[in-house]
Structure 1
């Protein structure tokens, strides 16, 4: 059996350590490549010498740009990579993702992207420039449904660079300050009390499969601007046919061919939620926040232990220590899940989903971190990563998918 290559940062996430452990449990050999130690050449054989003889590469770099670059280099050098560059392209370009998804029947936010504002207006006289700015701002505002709206980087993550625009003047100023090197787009402001994170997978030669979902809940109004996936409080939600239907439709766009493969964590936002239900969700999330902080503290301690013991994973003592630490952390997660607010949030969200609401695909995450999904659903997502790595590694074709 070929080794499984894992390219990761030296200070990586707990998920990456768990994936290594899962690959070992599956009977395969993980070959870890530390990104800071990797020096690439334009010589194909030199690259293959650096990465080694592996059946597939798991690209787990936290920088999206570096991950995409490494993936393209690996694919060009003859490796299969999870996830492929074609899948990563969707997470790196929100505007085109919304365009392609909407065209394929997958509901996504409306977005506005004025082209080259600075270049078009740079040579205009002051009065003409003011009038053109006004027209562009009005046009962009109409597309996204008016003010307030949200400006966000086309290639961004974790809420960085996202801001609320509350007046026409702010819209004009944002357009005037846009850089063609780091473009932004406008989209409607959804003051959602929660977002749904859905984890799904497609094995080569199989149909897409939805694995698990959680909700990330706001504790206050307007919090969606700061990215609920990062700032929200997680809560459990039962598997629902609407989420499964939408996820499968999205994965068929991301991986359209029979032998295509991927594993993603996608974020879905409600277009609207009744105000009374939204306030109940925020109130419950605020009550859950102290216990969630305890869960995060437990997770941080576990991560430190993984970092400390990771180099000596061949030791039986090390494995027992990690098992005991994982068991202790699981008890903290179960205590968090027993809080009554989870049941209330789940009831609200499930009833809302039963009403066949408008749910919009907000983000495609090709390099997801999944500790909240794992803690709340008790599903070992790292095992799913190991299984798809083994499945892709066993492909007889040497052609890189996703080119």
Structure 2
């Protein structure tokens, strides 16, 4: 009978299974392209908004389209924030459900670390913000969200040989982070709630759920109930992106028979992730990132305001502190150690990288302050995210040689089946 010392020491950020590692790699490729498009869109908006033709940018954002009879005559900026981001949250919801139903995170021991880190990465930056900008408490949630596309784009550039466990950790943390953000939006940033439209949204939501559970994948059948759900949630006063998560949670993950191929959740994720990463998020960034900086003096004045300082401190200090503290507490109470080849400096680099809070941070900023604090929020989010990206780059670059060595060791022993030996049971 084995003694206590023969038991396997619990590991934090243990290696993923081979199917999960391949799936994460596929997601990273799509999100990396999306991140590059996001950066290009944000840069284009910034240049246009600070050019002699800045007014044409504002005029473009203000163009209204949509049926007035249904209260959907929204400007293009609102369509991007309320409509396109619903696609983003639909994909995030699919990813989260799949992870906890069929992915590695169905194991509670694996799920504990990224979930705890995500919670810590929400609570601590909110407290840091309130300590600095308590007079504008409504913006407490702005520095709490990690931008998946932006963070993964940076990670792809600086850490191509990063161990799968760290990349999976960052992706999962960001997805859980986004789910927490959408709950925050629904609970804390719903000014007026119309109960009847919200209850009415349950009808098309149920129709959508029945269709997907019966195996329907035709877009022309699924789009009408999905759009009706979105429109009714929008009319209720709850932010319309919540509809994206609700729709995602109705999609089954598993099929009844293995020969049926990928489950509905995986099917829709493959179909909509390119739309989310390549269109929805970059278009939202284009309509949200354009802010007039007003030269160096105007920029420095904006960045010294309490709201801006609170946002930047939340992203640069609060976010990494919260993630590291939560991860350390999990290790402390479970007596777990980091997986072989990893060190806490790696976790520190990823925690700082998680301080990139672009898409959802801008969205919450608009909900919290509207046009009144638009400039401060955008400048602070952009500055804080850029600083987090640069600092994380410095730290992770110092570890690049080790990452490369680990990657070469993992791939050099692949058998004829193409699966590295370390992913196979002995």
TM-score (structure 1 length as normaliser): 0.27
TM-score normalized by the length of structure 2: 0.26
Identify the structure with bigger relative contact order (alpha carbons < 8 Å, sequence gap 6+).
2
